[in-house]
Structure 1
Amino acid sequence: MKFKTTILPILLFTLLISCSSDELTTSKAESMAIECQGNKNLVKTTTSSYGVLEQWDRFKKKNTVFLESYKKLEEKGLYNMGELQRVKGVLGMKERYEISLTPKAEKLLISSKKDAKGRITGKFKICEYTFESVEEIHEIPAENIANVKLKFIRINETPFFKETHEKSNPKEVFKQVKYKKTNDGWKLCN
């Protein structure tokens, strides 16, 4: 009888330990994802040129959207277009435009690179993604990991965001990440 009474508390204790916080719950996974993201959202960008832009007359018919796209950006208050200059070059006549950024566009500029001819290629913010929720958790105990499907949503679209960006930057994005199980519990970021 004494043997059975000592086994009962041990079994109860073992049962409680096995049901402890070793499981990765949705709320744990969400709080770790939020903690890892912090105040930093994932920023998506596009490139656009400004500065001194030139177009040869012979290529004008093939590239009719050259000027139209810059006029649209000017209408959105992102670019200031200078007067058209006609310049004679080695291969014939060309049009030259001086295009500058407005303060509104400067706030969205991430980086830029200038070439020898004065053309500047800028990388501009088009939108951000932020963590929304945990969609599913698949634990792999043998490897001490869990594959977790996270949902991110698009926010803060800028005037540089176009309909063409919709396909590569949908409203919702799902990302598979690995959570690691350590002696200190589950970890996502360092």
Structure 2
Amino acid sequence: MKNTIILTFLAIMVLSCGSDNLSNSKAENIISECLEAEPEIRKSSIAIGKATFTKKDYDQELLSKYVQLELEGYLQMELLREFTTGWRKGTKEYSIKLNEKSLPFMEQIPEKGNLAVARAYKYEVDKVLEVQEIPAMNSAKVKVQYRAVDITPFSVFSRKDANEFWIDDLNMKKTSNGWKYCDKF
């Protein structure tokens, strides 16, 4: 009797898991479909209105990014004043405005305040590096490498370099309808 119950339990477990293995290409297709529905977009903040740049290396590097965008026609910059004496010597204050050319890339333009949010780039699946199925839990751990696409001029303000790959671990669930990542199971 015990053997029959154990064998029945094992048969049910094997049948419930099925033989629908998750391959790298199948995982890539599922994740790509999810990214089409809800893209993974990186954004960056830029100062508009009044902005101050000191003579420190970080501020000078940031100022050069603003100047580059001004030369490309995305921003308007006007030097308000430059401090030539005192403890603020070398500091420059600018008035920064967005041009029409930059508006398609903007996610948020504040009415008050001075930080606008722009799209930098979005990610798409480059390749699936590894799939590790966990049959007992009807799940899988998937290691995915992403690459940046649709890189905008405002990606220079992003913390991450758009040319670097991003690797992430995802959890996928196996349902009666197959493998799922972003769907509600």
TM-score (structure 2 length as normaliser) = 0.69
Alignment of 1:1-190 (within 5 A): 21-38=19-36, 40-53=38-51, 60-61=54-55, 65=60, 68-82=64-78, 84=80, 97-115=94-112, 119-162=113-156, 165=158, 167-190=160-183
After TM superposition, give the deviation of residue 105 of structure 1 in Å.
1.4
- CA 1:39 to 1:85, structure 2 compared with 1: closer, same or farther past 3 Å? same
State how far apart, in whole Å, the 2-side matches of 1:132 and 1:68 are.
32
Would the alpha carbon gap of residues 103 and 136 (structure 1) be closer, same or farther in structure 2, given more than 3 Å must change?
same
**How many residue pairs end up in the alignment?**
163
In the alignment, is the contact (CA less than 8 A) between 2:32 and 2:124 conserved in 1?
no
The CA RMSD over aligned residues, in Å, is: 3.5
Q: What is the distance in 1 between the residues matched to 2:127 and 2:161?
A: 21
* 1:51-110 residue CA offsets vs partner (Å, 9 max, x unmatched): 24467xxxx555863755432321121111246369xxxxxxx97643211122111111
SS at match of 1:48: strand
Aligned counterparts of 1:25 and 1:62: Cα–Cα separation in 2: 51
Alpha carbons of 1:26 and 1:80: their partners in 2 closer, same or farther (altered >3 Å)?
same
Say if 1:114 and 1:121, in contact at 8 Å, map to a contact too. no
SS at match of 2:102: helix
Paired residue for 1:10? none
Gaps of 5+ in 2: 1-14, 83-90
DSSP 3-state at the match of 1:107: helix
Alpha-carbon distance in 2 for matches of 1:104, 1:98: 18
Other structure's SS at 1:28 match = helix
- % identical aligned pairs: 29
Given the superposition, is the C-alpha separation of residues 136 and 96 from structure 1 closer, same or farther in structure 2, using an over 3 Å criterion? closer
- Determine helix, strand or coil for the equivalent of 1:77: coil
TM norm structure 1: 0.68
Gaps of 5+ in 1: 1-16, 87-93
Contact 2:49 2:95 (8 Å CA) reproduced:
yes
Partner Cα distance (2:161, 2:120) in 1: 12
